[in-house]
């Protein structure tokens, strides 16, 4: 099953590496930008598949993804103390994302724009990102968790 989680993690990383997402960033993208986009993708993923039936699998995916993020931070060269602080910050950011998009379908377009721009404040064309994440959310809602885990899906 760990291999399936790696497929999922790599897919989310690939989504966050999509160059089109960075075209309206007024500076060179950095690790923090990519991580923020990764966490947004992961938030939408969890939102779409959260139910009692998937609870255990989603917890394993959550643990696996944050373990992988910690390894990535270590590879960058942060020390143990810095890693603990960074991971705490990233986990808090992620949980605020999950909280903000929980009722995504019930939000107006302007409310969605506010939520996306809160996390992606350095990006100029927030409407493009809103459309992108709306399409991503719709895409996820049409697939089952098992179908997503058993294939290397592309948006």
Name the 3-class secondary structure at 86. Answer: helix
- 33 in a domain, yes or no? no
Q: Are 74 and 83 in contact (CB under 8 A)?
A: yes
Domain that includes residue 134, residue range: 2-20+38-149
Counting the structural domains of the chain, the total is: 1
pLDDT above 90: percentage of residues in the chain: 61
Beta-carbon count within 10 A of 40 CB? 28
Could you tell me the pTM of the whole model? 0.91
- Classify residue 154: in a domain, yes or no: no
Structural tokens at position 27: 């500076």
Please say whether the beta carbons of 145 and 57 come within 8 A.
yes
Residue 50 covered by a domain:
yes
> Is 137 part of any domain?
yes
For residue 27, is it within any domain?
no
pLDDT one-digit tens code per residue, 16-72: 999 999 998 888 888 889 999 999 999 999 999 999 999 999 999 999 999 999 988
What distance in Å separates the CA atoms of residue 60 and residue 65, rounded to the nearest whole number? 9
Asked whether residue 62 is assigned to any structural domain, the reply reads yes
CA–CA gap between residue 14 and residue 65 (Å, rounded): 14
Structural domain contains residue 56:
yes
Domain assignment present for 30 = no
């Amino acid at each position: 099953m760990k291999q399936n989680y790696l497929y999922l993690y790599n897919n989310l990383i690939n989504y966050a590496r999509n160059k089109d997402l960075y075209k309206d960033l007024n500076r060179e993208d950095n690790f923090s930008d990519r991580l923020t986009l990764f966490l947004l993708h992961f938030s939408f993923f969890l939102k779409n598949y959260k139910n009692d039936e998937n609870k255990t699998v989603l917890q394993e995916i959550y643990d696996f993804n944050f373990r992988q993020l910690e390894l990535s931070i270590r590879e960058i060269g942060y020390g143990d103390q810095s890693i603990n602080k960074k991971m705490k910050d990233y986990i808090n950011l992620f949980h605020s994302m999950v909280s903000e998009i929980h009722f995504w379908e019930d939000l107006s377009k302007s409310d969605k724009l506010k939520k996306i721009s809160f996390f992606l404040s350095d990006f100029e064309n927030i409407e493009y990102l809103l459309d992108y994440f709306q399409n991503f959310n719709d895409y996820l809602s049409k697939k089952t968790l098992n179908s997503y885990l058993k294939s290397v899906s592309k948006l």
